[in-house]
Amino acid sequence: MRDKILFSLAAIAAVILTWNIHTIFAAVPDELNQGPIFRIIYFHVPSNILALSGFGIGMMCSIVYLFTKNLKYDAIAEGVTEVSLVFATIGLITGSIWGRIIWGVWWAWDVRLTSFLVCWLIFAGYLMLRRAIEEPIQRARLSAVVSVFGTVDAYIVWKSIEWYRNQHPGPVLSIRNGGGMAPGMEAPLYWNLLALFCLSIILVMVRMRQESFAREIDSLRREAHSF
Amino acid sequence: MENRNVTFMIYGLVAAWLIVLGYVVLLALRERKLRKELDRVRHMVEGGKQS
Q: Extract the residue ranges of chain B whose pLDDT is less than 50.
A: none
pLDDT at residue B1, rounded to an integer: 56
Domain map of chain A by residue range? 38-196
pLDDT at residue A33, rounded to an integer: 81
Q: What ipTM does the predicted assembly reach?
A: 0.88
pLDDT at residue A71, rounded to an integer: 87
Phi, psi of A109 (to 5 degrees): -85, 55
pTM > 0.80: yes or no: yes
Residue A36 to residue B35, Cβ atoms within 8 A: no
- pLDDT single digits (tens) A83-108: 999 999 999 999 999 999 888 899 98
Q: Extract the residue ranges of chain A whose pLDDT is less than 50.
A: none
Enumerate the residues of chain B whose CB falls inside 8 A of the CB of residue A35.
2, 5-6
Query: For residue B12, what is the nearest residue in chain A, using CA coordinates?
Result: A94
DSSP state of B51: -
Contact by Cβ (8 Å): A43, B16:
yes
Q: Number of residue pairs across A and B with CB atoms under 8 Å?
A: 84
Our CA-based measurement puts residue B21 at a distance from the nearest CA of chain A, in whole angstroms, of 11
Nearest to A150 by CA among A206, A84, A211, A95: A84
pLDDT at residue A81, rounded to an integer: 95
Enumerate the residues of chain A whose CB falls inside 8 A of the CB of residue B44.
220, 224
Of A36, A89, A223, which has the smallest distance from its Cβ to B19's Cβ? A89
Residue A86 to residue B45, Cβ atoms within 8 A: no
